[in-house]
Amino acid sequence: MKVLFLFLLSVIMPCGVSAQNTKGKDDDGKYVKDSVALDEVVVRTSRVKNKDNALRLFPTKEQKANSTNAYGLLARLALPNVSVNEVMRSISVPATLGKLQVRINDIIATTSDLIALDMDNVKYVDYIQNAGARYGDDVDFVINIVVERTQSGYYVGAEAMQSVTSMRNNEDVFTKFNKGRHELGLHYSFGYNRTKDLRYEETADYLMPDNCVTTVRRTDTGYRQSTISHDLQLQYSLVDSTRYTLQTTLGGTLSRIPENSRTRTEQSGGVTETFPIGSTDNTSSAFLDVYFKYSLTKRQSITANLTGNYANSDYNYAYGGASPYSYNSTGNSHLLGGELIYENRLSPFTLSAGLKYFNEYSSTEYGGDVATDNSIRNDNIYGFAQIAGRVSKFSYMLGLGASRYHYRQASERYGYWLFRPQVQLAYSPWQPFRISYNFTMGQHPPRLAYLGDVIVRNNEMEVTVGNPSLRINKEIENELTMSLQYPSFYTQMMVYYRMMPHCSMARIDRVADADGTVTFISSRANQRKINMFFVSNYTSYDALPGKLSFNLQAGVYRFLNYGDDYKHHYTAFNWSAGAQAYLGKLSLTANVDNGWNFLEGESKSKSPFVYYFTASYKMGNFTLSMFWQHCFQDEVRLYNTEQLNRFVHKMQRMYSGEMGNMLTFRVTWRLSKGRKREEIRRNAIKTRNDTGIMKN
């Protein structure tokens, strides 16, 4: 079967992807400078500009014409370390590398924004692999899609996506109306997913106090999971391109999991037991975002942003067996945030400075076998200053962010300072070549679910507890990047080393009661360190400009984990490759990926080898797309995790029959009429749905 897939890949190779000679000019025909990042080294005939701290990619007309939304466009651009799944509507980087934000004109984008994006208005995409101080203290990667707005007319569309090999459905309708300075947009999305063909296998070896090993084999079958979601977003904009921009967004989400059940078979010591496990989950959230930007002069501007967010979640869990166990929980969270940014484009450099504040309160009530209340209040004030400039063939960026973080839970109260210094230096001795160095020190607070003092039972022998004493995670990053670019060829070599001293790591303790009952307690604690080193290469090549392109990414990764009572090292080779072909109204894409393999703490994860194939055909205002995922795989191993703890050694695997040879069709209809205007640029506060509930 793999030979057949490689044959299909070779069939589309003579056909093609694109390399449009987009110049990246503004409306006046001048080359644009980024107001936040450094000036780029411009190769005017290339669709990729190599700039300090970022790649600027100009999508070709073929890529935009065959992309129905932002997910499709980013999938065709094939950004380094970025995984895009159009069917699942996800854009991510490996969790061990950090957090990713996707923005549209510097606005943190929602799924609704990405689905309703008009491809004709896309100018370019900035991919920032080392987010500066301006983006906050918890962002590592930024994708910013820069678009032009419509000044008059309308834009309407609808999209329906259905998997024929499983019950997975998404439907969207959206519209935007423009008249003069006013724009009104509305988007509604509905999603339904029903999963059945899943299988979970686990083999756990428990080291008892008498040094005997107890082996337990757990198998979960008979999965029944249903997910229903509704999302509604209303947006209004008032724009005077020479003076001000006002934008207000109101949105809400309802998500229900009315059924999530399975049957577990547990074998230990010659005894077999079968029992049910089930849960339900209902979550709702609403947010209001108000943004205002005012131009003081041609070079100076001030931006204000205010965001409010509310989320509510009800979760119920039941575990059968010889010792039945169940609990229910209700969680609420409120977040209020604001931001103020000043920017001045001075002659030698661009200065950016600002303040950001948010206050968040979460309250969770537990009932049943977990009878406790857990309330957490935290607030954060963050300030930053950043300058970026260029001297001859050298460019630089210097930034410093600092925040005061205060946390309170019951009797636990503490506050601390978080600092984020960043230095970026780049040198381009000749136009196609650039070498850059980046140093960043970041600090991140732990997740709310880790901080609660709640005790949740996982099975007959294991429980999970929170740790209110967790402290911040510090990250020190050093990165050296060398790149070479030509009109149809781009390659970069990256050497990266990250240190995380005294970070939050998994921990398992063994406790024996007076009656001889042994319990293994899983928690998190600040332990010695986690270090990571890798060398990677990313290469893209337009073999036939406008017809065919290839991309390849490969790297060797070394993971070094040092807990208080253990150390684990692991070396992984991760790679992916893709090809894109454009045949007029038909586009073809093929990708192969060996997954993401890594070690963090005492968990070693190996992802499956996967194949993907996509075909898209455009017919006037309609586009028909087909997605063939996990090609030639009747059953997909979703994950394979090994736990290396001295007390508990586990092998955990999850399999899906529905994901094997998964075939999905999508029909998109769009109709637009209008003209261009100056784009809105901003930096926004994110919203949250995290209510702090600890879930099994």
Q: Does residue 150 surpass a pLDDT of 80?
A: no
Q: How many CB atoms lie within 10 A of CB 298?
A: 8
Q: Does residue 528 surpass a pLDDT of 90?
A: yes
Question: Would you call 43 helix, strand, or coil by DSSP?
Answer: coil
Q: Does residue 680 surpass a pLDDT of 70?
A: no
What pLDDT does 15 receive?
A: 38
At 653-678, the pLDDT tens digits run 999 988 889 999 999 999 887 655 54
Per-residue tokens: 635: 């059953």
Q: Does residue 569 surpass a pLDDT of 90?
A: yes
Q: Does residue 4 surpass a pLDDT of 70?
A: no
CA dist 400 and 134 (Å) reads 9
Q: Does residue 9 surpass a pLDDT of 90?
A: no
Q: Are the CB atoms for 542 and 548 separated by under 8 Å?
A: yes
CA dist 116 and 596 (Å) reads 30
Q: Which residue has the higher pLDDT, 690 or 522?
A: 522
CA dist 435 and 429 (Å) reads 9
Q: Which residue has the higher pLDDT, 134 or 586?
A: 586
What pLDDT does 607 receive?
A: 87
The candidate with the shortest Cα–Cα distance to 284, out of 324, 256, 321, is 256
What pLDDT does 46 receive?
A: 59
CA dist 132 and 114 (Å) reads 23
Q: Which amino acid is at 382?
A: Y
Per-residue tokens: 344: 């001045």
Name the DSSP class of 10: H
Q: What is the dihedral of CA 549, 553, 554, 560, to 10 degrees?
A: 180
At 101-123, the pLDDT tens digits run 898 888 788 888 899 888 888 99
At 576-599, the pLDDT tens digits run 999 999 998 999 999 999 988 999
Name the DSSP class of 196: -
At 318-356, the pLDDT tens digits run 999 888 999 999 999 999 999 999 999 888 888 999 999
Q: Does residue 14 surpass a pLDDT of 80?
A: no
* Residue found by looking up tokens 């209510």 in the block: 691
| CA-to-CA separations, 517 to 61, 268, 320, 321, 520, in angstroms, rounded | 67, 16, 19, 17, 10
CA dist 577 and 582 (Å) reads 17
CA dist 257 and 244 (Å) reads 43
At 164-193, the pLDDT tens digits run 988 899 999 999 998 888 989 999 999 999
At 45-80, the pLDDT tens digits run 457 777 757 788 899 888 998 898 999 999 999 888
Domain ranges of the chain: 2-147+186-212+227-677
Beta strand ranges found along 502-609 (DSSP E): 504-512, 518-526, 529-544, 548-562, 567-583, 586-593, 598-600, 603-606
Percentage of the chain lying above the pLDDT 70 cut? 89
Q: Does residue 226 surpass a pLDDT of 80?
A: yes
What pLDDT does 696 receive?
A: 63
What pLDDT does 521 receive?
A: 96
Per-residue tokens: 651: 């092998």
CATH number of the domain located at residue range(s) 2-147+186-212+227-677 in this protein: 2.40.170
* Bridge pairing between strands 518-526 and 462-465: parallel
* Residue found by looking up tokens 């504040």 in the block: 357
Q: Are the CB atoms for 381 and 403 separated by under 8 Å?
A: yes
pLDDT band at 420 (very low <50, low <70, confident <90, very high): confident
Q: List, as one string, the DSSP characters of 402-430.
A: EEEEEEEETTEEEEEEEEEEEEEEEE-SS
Burial of residue 340, with CB atoms counted within 10 A of its CB: 0-12 exposed, 13-18 middle, 19 or more buried: middle
Per-residue tokens: 159: 């999209």
In the predicted model, what is the mean pLDDT of residues 422-450?
87
**How confident is the prediction for the chain on average, in pLDDT?**
86
Cβ-based neighbours of 57, under 8 Å, separated by 6 or more: 47, 48, 49, 77, 79, 124, 125, 126, 127
* Residue found by looking up tokens 């590398």 in the block: 97
CA dist 609 and 624 (Å) reads 27
What pLDDT does 690 receive?
A: 59
Segment holding 449, helix H or strand E: helix 448-451
Q: Does residue 38 surpass a pLDDT of 50?
A: no
CA dist 518 and 487 (Å) reads 65
Q: Does residue 5 surpass a pLDDT of 60?
A: no
Q: Which residue has the higher pLDDT, 400 or 689?
A: 400
CA dist 41 and 20 (Å) reads 18
pLDDT band at 437 (very low <50, low <70, confident <90, very high): very high
Rg of the chain, C-alpha, whole Å: 26
Q: How many CA atoms lie within 13 A of 55 on its CB side?
A: 26
At 252-307, the pLDDT tens digits run 999 999 999 999 999 998 899 999 999 999 999 999 999 898 999 989 999 999 99
pTM for this structure? 0.83
At 602-645, the pLDDT tens digits run 999 998 888 899 999 999 899 999 999 998 888 999 999 999 99
pLDDT band at 691 (very low <50, low <70, confident <90, very high): low
| CA-to-CA separations, 629 to 16, 187, 217, 272, 383, in angstroms, rounded | 21, 28, 31, 37, 44
| Dihedrals phi, psi of 521, to nearest 5 degrees | -105, 120
Segment holding 11, helix H or strand E: helix 2-12
Percentage of the chain lying above the pLDDT 90 cut? 53
What pLDDT does 30 receive?
A: 36
Per-residue tokens: 435: 């070498």
In the predicted model, what is the mean pLDDT of residues 152-171?
90
CA dist 57 and 18 (Å) reads 12
What pLDDT does 642 receive?
A: 97
